[in-house]
Each structure stands twice: as structure tokens, then as C-alpha cells.
Structure 1
Amino acid sequence: MTTPPDVFAPATLGPITLRNRIIKSATFEGRTPDALVTDELIEFHRRPAAGGVGMSTVAYCAVAPEGRTERGQLWMRPDAVPGLRRLTDAIHAEGAAASAQLGHAGPVANEKSTGLPALAPSRSFNPLSMRMIRSATTADITRITAAHGTAARLAVESGFDAVEIHFGHNYFASAFLSPKLNRRTDCYGGSLENRARVVRDAARTVRDAVGGRVAILAKLNMDDGVPGGFWLDEAIQVARLLEHDGSVDALELTMGSSLLNPMYLFKGDAPVREFAAAMPQPVRLGVQLAGKSLIHAYPYRDLFMLEHARQIRAAVALPLVLLGGVTDRAGMDTAMAEGFEFVAMARALLREPDLVNRIRAESRTQSLCIHCNKCMPTIFSGARCVLVD
């Protein structure tokens, strides 16, 4: 048996070296009202970088304007590069690496907000926007796939050290993986090989665009949390396909459907009242009346994705990032002992951006996050912990 790595030791990720194995996971910041970088967004990422993370992930960098969940979300275009360069410079100045999460919201996009059509594998209803979503054409798929490559090149130009391709949460690519959402009969539907085509093509396109200049991660759903949706058995096969393709340097494992079961990712309390208050009418009324049927509460426990993630770990040799309930040194050490190369933190860093440095200084440090999830609705007004002044 080999000794597990020290989570605080430098680690290689593709062509880059991180100062430690702790990544700030993508958390939509709600700080880009004009779809461009702001000083508030820079500070949002500078603080956990100063607080000790090895890499901070900027979310959500849409690859196309209709790929935003709402109109204020940042999308990758030349006009965004100067601001993104200021952002990466600020992260680098604190000794951390910077990653850009690239993706397309697909059926999760709010076309009422963006003014552009939301796209899904098949025609369906979006309970968030209360509108029908049209089925993506082959031309749409080709365009969005190419846009991933363009966005990746812009990320390199902006000074990012890594890109993370979003294949989770029933966004565009993840929706194609889902048997529940993908009812197509062409080469993008039916068999898993067909349903995985969008994922594999996007990853290959990004690899072709950037080569080995930056690290490439993919955020992959293990379980949609929806009956009839994408589940672990197929996630194992997709992980193997991505490994076979050689298109990514690591996988960050996740779960849940932003479209149909958002709380499955987060675990803990379900802040239905707070979500309703953050929504415009008539969505607010819909959340008030039916929110509990969509926003479920799931018991929280530390390392709550570990059982699923073990199955991926046993199937591939690719470096893996363990997300979900990583809040202390004990959890980090468990992840290392289980064979994961990196860990990712999100909510705990909203509460305490300096948590990583504090854990490094005192291994018994415990996170102050109580998993109330009241931070989730704040993405519409600037993501934050509501317990912090």
C-alpha cells in the first residue's frame, strides 16, 4: 500500500502544478450584471485564493449568449477578455491558479431573461421559466460544439490555467445524456453511445483548441436524481469514454438536475421561502404553491458524494476531484486515502473564504457552514452566506 498524498502538497493537474489539492468549485457568483467581469467578481475569487485554495473556478462562463441561465451571466467573447485578464491576474497574485467553467445551459436557460431561445435535446417544458423549450437542431449542436473551442481559446487568452467543461446538472450536454430528457431518434439519441456524442465532441473540440496549454477538467453528473434520468451505471461508461478519448485531464464528479431536482446536489435544508422571494412573478407564485414538490430537502452528511464517486474511481485511472461535503481536514484525508487526487469546496468557502488556510494551520478546524442552503437564492443578488454581514 502507498501512503496517501498530503492534500496540502503541490500537485500536478495536466500541464500545470497547483500549490495544493484543494479547488474552489464553481458557484454562480451573480456579480456580472452586464455579462462582464466586475470588481465584485474579482474580489469574490481573490478572497478564497488569498484564503489558501490551490485553484478557484469561475462560474459560469457560457460559450454562447443563449447558453446563459439569465442575461447577466458572463459569456465568452472578445469584449470579456480584458476583465477576465484582471480577474486571473488577481487570483495569480494570491498564489492560486484560475479555472474557467465553460458550458451551455441548454434547457436550464431562462429565455424570458436572455431574450434568446432555450435549447434542449427534445421539446420539453421548463418549470423554472414556465415556457416550452425547443429541440436543438443538428446545426445548433454543431454551432454549440464549435463554441466550446472558441470559448476555450478565449480562456487561454484571458490567462486561465485551466478550463472546466460543464457536463452536469442537466445543462445542454448533460441533458443529452439523460434518457428522460433526450427522446431523439437521430444520431444524438437512443443508445448511450449516441447520447454521449455531444459530451465527447465538446471535450475533443476543447482539446483541439487548446492542446496542452491549460488543464482540461470536465464536471460530470453521476446521478440526475430524477427517475428515468442519467444514473451511475451510465456515468461509469461515459467516464471510461472520456478517458479513452484522452480529451480531459481530470473529472470533477457531481450530481443533481438544476432543471428537475436542484437540491439533490446540495443536501441539507430546502429554502423554499427564500427561493420564492428571489423570483419575479409569476414564477414566485409558482414556487410558493408548488416549490416543495421541486425543491426537496435531503439529509446532509459529510462527503455525501463519496459512495457514488467510488464507483467511478474503481473504473478509471483519470485523476478525479471529489466534491460534496468536503469541509474539514478529516474529509480531505479520507478523499486522498480513497484514491482521489483533488477535493473541491463550495458552500463552506462562501461562509469562510479563509477556511483552507485555517485548516492548514490547525487540522481540527471545523467549518461554520450549517448547510441551511439559504446561500442558493442569493445567486440572483450576489452569492453569499446570509450569516455573514
Structure 2
Amino acid sequence: MTIPVSRDIPDVLGPAKLGPITLRNRIIKAATFEGATPDAVVSDRLIEYHRRPAAGGVGMTTVAYLAVAPEGRTERRQIWMRPEAIPGLRRLTDAVHAEGAAISAQIGHAGPVADAKSNGQPALAPGRLFNPISMKMTRAATEADVGRITRAHGDAARIAVEAGFDAVEIHLGHNYFASSFLSPKINKRRDRYGGSLANRARVARGMARAVREAVGDRLAVTAKLNMDDGVPGGIWLDESLQVAQWLQEDGRLDALELTAGSSLLNPMYLFRGEAPIPEFAATFPQPQRLGVQLIGKKFLIGYPYREAFLLESARQFRAALDLPLILLGGITTRDTMDTAMAEGFEFVAMGRALLREPDLIRRIEQDRATKSLCIHCNRCMPTIYSGTRCVLVEPASGALALPDRTGRP
């Protein structure tokens, strides 16, 4: 259904304030792993990856993701925020700004999702648990670890300022470090970081405080928060909504992006659609490859795809919060964007559709009836290890190519 844009409903293609910055429109390219940093610093491919949607019309693009510490990477080739990374990050932000878009740095610590084998350092979690990615046990984070990682978020935010970013997005979702503490399934601690929801939320709230104190009003500060983990015993809407209310009361965030799913326990809950198990298996060496082939259907569970598939849950947050909200999940058409605006969301975030067509927003500006060519096959997901791309446009890793309007490279 098409919802007409009136004076009471913001124009999704019009300028919008996000904290101290102004975006040219309300469309954000969501943080999606680029697989484009083989030396853990910015590459030309990473710059082009973000320049294309910037040239294609988004208001802001989000770099995913910039670890706050070496052991916080999901694997060793990811960028972690340190002085040596600044020159490359500055080249990246300059390239995006030259296209008229803003750029956000998603910062975080992968916690139990980190690949300890790749990083050469133990993955940290609220307690010991098995990580199927590295086939290793995590180490229980000490209070000193929590304090160090919290401070590292502030340090990473300062680097983002120096590198020319317009915003930072704190990763509080997907059972990464902060999210794993929020999860009653994962967090069995009996100290001040476990037990009650108030205790489990200390890490997330502390990170937001550290980042805001580090940047003041120089950058916009957002966070990505799970509405639910999609896992029995994990965090659910009632608890997540309370955490969101606390974050709002704390006053450190300019907006909240609502997400769902667990990269550790149920990754497809966020993406929806078919799970590309054969393609995922092919990216792993043995014996992990055989493991993915044998138990992939239990770990990579397919869910039906539909437009705005997180909207129903997100409505509950919209009804209870005054904080600006970013709607994520199946946003591919102007009609869906207008629906989000009509329901009170301030921004929308897009992922796979922009990977398929980086110029989609420009095309929607020209013709509101434009339909995305993304078929949500999810075969882009396994390419995060070799250079994230739409395999229907760019079958093999190599030079990036823009599709024409028919979808042909």
C-alpha cells in the first residue's frame, strides 16, 4: 500500500538532523561486513565499496565493523582502531564526503563471536562457552577486561573523530560482547555484570557513556541493539525494550538502530530468506567444512523473507520511546520507506539491496516505482570472507562493477 507523504510525515529523501549532523536524506547504508581489509587497514576496495552507495544517493554509509581491540575482531584481517589505521580511514571518509554523503564508523568488540584461532587470542564472553566458528572455548571476561573494553570504545571513538567520521555506531547486538552480557542464555555470571537485567545492561550502558564522553557533540552517536536474539532463552522484547528505555534516559545516544538475531547461535534470524549452506561450507577448510555440511541446517535456519520484516517488533519500541529510531530489515522500496516514516521512524537502513544496486537510491529519486533487483538469495553472505559482493553481479572477487538498470554488470 502506498502511503502519501504529507506535511506531518517526513520526506525520506529530504534532509534530516541526526544529533549534531545533518544528512542529505534519511536513508542509511547499514553496516555489512566488507571483507576488503586483507592487511587490517583500509584498502582501495574498501574505499570503493563505500564510495559507490555514497555516489548512489544514500545519506550515510556505515563501515563495518571497526574493532576496538585486537581480540575483538571476528577474524584477524579486520580493522581494529589504532593510530596506524587513521591515514587509510581518512582516505575513506574523504572519498565518501566527496560524493556528498556522511560516513559512520561501527565500533565494537566481537566477544564470543571473535575467531580466537584467527586472532591468536582467546575470545571473551561472560563465561566459558564453545565457539563453533573457531572450534574453541571462550574465556570468561574479568571485570578488568570489561573496564578495558569499555575504555577502548571511547578510544576508538576518538580515533573516529581524528579520521573524519561524522558518526559512530556502537555495536550492542548479535551476541557480540555487549549483547552477550545482555543475553540471559549466555550470561550466567553472579557478579555485578550478571543476574538482573540492570546488571546485564551495565556493559552496554557503560560503552555508550564512554563513547559520548569521548566525542561530545563532535559526532553523532548511535547504537545497534537487539530487539530479540531469536534464540530460546535469549533476550526478548520485554527486556530489550527496558534496555532501550535506559539508554534513552542516559541521554548518550542520538538514535537507536533496531536489529535481531545472534551471530553466534542463529545468524539467519536477522537476514531472512534461504540459508546458503553449500556456499558457506565451501569457505571453510576441513574439518569445519564437513561440519557445516552436516549440521548447517540446524545452525543456519532459513526464515521466510518479507518487506520490513522487523517492523512488527520495532513498532513496540516506537510506541514506548522518544529516541529517534532507525528501521532495519527488508527495506527495498519507496513505499516501504514511506511506511516507516508514517509510523514514526526517523531513518531507514538498507543492506543487501544496496549491495545488489549501489545506485538504487538515485533511481528511486528519479522514479518512486523503482523495484530493487535484490532477490534475497543470501548468496552474498559467504562472500564476507573473500570480498563482500552480490554474486549475481560480481561472480568472482576482483574489480568492483556497477550494474546497469537491468542488473547486468
Structure 2 residue aligned with 1:150: 155
Q: Does 1:37 align with 2:51?
A: no
Query: What's the offset of the Cα at 1:131?
Result: 1.1
Higher mean displacement: 2-11 or 87-96: 2-11
**Separation (CA, whole Å) in 2 of partners of 1:249 and 1:121:** 28
Q: Cα distance, 1:2 vs. partner? A: 6.2
**Would you say 1:248 and 2:253 are equivalent positions?**
yes
Kindly state the Cα deviation for residue 60 of structure 1 after the two structures are TM-superposed: 0.7
Which of these residues, 327, 332, 356, is aligned with residue 327 of structure 1?
332
Deviations, residues 147-183 of structure 1 (Å, cap 9, x unaligned): 0000000000000000000000000000000000000
Q: Which aligned pairs between 1:269-348 and structure 2 lie closer than 5 A?
A: 269-348=274-353
- CA separation in 2, counterparts of 1:376 and 1:319? 29
Question: What residue ranges of structure 1 are gaps of 5+ in the alignment?
Answer: none
Q: How many residues align?
A: 389
Aligned 1:109-148 pairs, distance under 5 A: 109-148=114-153
Instruction: After TM superposition, give the deviation of residue 270 of structure 1 in Å.
Output: 0.6
Amino acid at match of 1:245: D
Q: Per-residue deviation at 1:129? A: 1.4
Match status 1:15 vs 2:10: no
Give how far 1:320 is off. 0.3
| Secondary structure of 1:122 counterpart | coil
Distance 2:313 2:173 in 1: 15
Q: What are the superposed Cα offsets for residues 180-219 of structure 1, whole Å, 9 maximum, x if unpaired?
A: 0000000000000000000000000000000010000000
Runs ≥4 residues deviating over 6 A: none
Alignment partner of 1:113: what SS? helix
| In 1: Cα distance, 2:246 partner to 2:287 partner | 42
TM-superposition CA deviations, 1:344-378 (whole Å, max 9, x none): 00000010000010011100000000010000000
Question: Which of 263, 272, 275 is the equivalent residue of 1:258?
Answer: 263
Q: Which residue matches 1:211?
A: 216
User: Could you tell me which residue of structure 1 aligns to residue 230 of structure 2?
Assistant: 225
Where do residues 359-374 of structure 1 align in structure 2 (5 Å cutoff)?
Answer: 359-374=364-379
Following the alignment from structure 2 to structure 1, what is the Cα–Cα distance between the partners of residues 178 and 90?
27
Deviates most, 22-31 or 281-290 = 281-290
Q: Which residue of 2 aligns with 1:167?
A: 172
Distance 1:97 1:243 in 2: 24
How far has the Cα of 1:135 moved from its partner? 0.6
CA distance in 2, matches of 1:253, 1:131: 30
Aligned match for 1:79, one of 66, 81, 84? 84
How many Å separate the matches in 1 of 2:53 and 2:8?
A: 28
Deviations 1:91-126 (A, max 9, x none): 000000010000000000001001011000111111
Q: Distance in 2 between matches of 1:215 and 1:271?
A: 36
| Unmatched segments (≥5 aa) in structure 2 | 1-5, 395-409
Q: Distance in 2 between matches of 1:128 and 1:361?
A: 44
Letter matched to residue 98 of structure 1: I
Which secondary structure state, in structure 1, belongs to the residue aligned with residue 213 of structure 2? helix
Deviations 1:312-370 (A, max 9, x none): 10111000000000001000000000000000000000100000100111000000000
- In structure 1, what is the equivalent of residue 360 of structure 2? 355
1:252 aligned counterpart, secondary structure: strand
Superimposed CA distance per residue, residues 76-99 of structure 1 (whole angstroms, 9 cap, x where no aligned partner): 000000000000000000000010
Using the alignment, how far apart are the partners of 1:349 and 1:281 within structure 2?
33
Q: Distance in 2 between matches of 1:339 and 1:275?
A: 37
Aligned partner letter, 1:256: G
Task: Report the secondary structure of 1:310's partner residue.
Answer: helix
Q: Which amino acid aligns with 1:183?
A: K
Q: Which amino acid aligns with 2:361?
A: V
> Aligned equivalents of 2:319 and 2:38: distance in 1?
42
CA distance in 2, matches of 1:249, 1:43: 28
Query: RMSD across aligned C-alpha pairs, in angstroms?
Result: 0.8
What secondary structure is seen at the aligned counterpart in 1 of 2:42?
Answer: coil
Give the fraction of aligned pairs with identical amino acids, expressed as a percent: 74
Provide the residue aligned with 2:3 in structure 1: none
